[in-house]
Amino acid sequence: DFRQQMLMHQVRHLNGILLTHEHVDHIFGLDDIRAFNWVQKQPTDIYAEERVQVAIRRIFDYVFAT
């Protein structure tokens, strides 16, 4: 679990995330990033191919709503 690992290792800053594919075992922890962004007071860049970006925006539409 992303949150537990970050707390255990006392990580305070995250430069970015590389997503290689949109399987749930890779993307369902993205909601934890939202809280982490608040802690580090800035957004975290997400790097992914367009296919993966489309899937992420569809699944997490509430994050990317304008």
pLDDT recorded at residue 36: 80
Residues of the chain falling short of pLDDT 70: 65-66
pLDDT recorded at residue 16: 92
pLDDT in tens, 3-18: 788 889 998 888 899 9
Cβ atoms of 39 and 6 closer than 8 Å = no
Q: How far apart are CA 13 and CA 52, in angstroms?
A: 24
Q: Which two tokens stand for residue 15?
A: 């430069």
pLDDT recorded at residue 65: 63
Among 24, 42, 34, 47, residue whose Cα is nearest residue 3:
34
Cβ atoms of 56 and 24 closer than 8 Å = no
Q: How far apart are CA 35 and CA 24, in angstroms?
A: 19
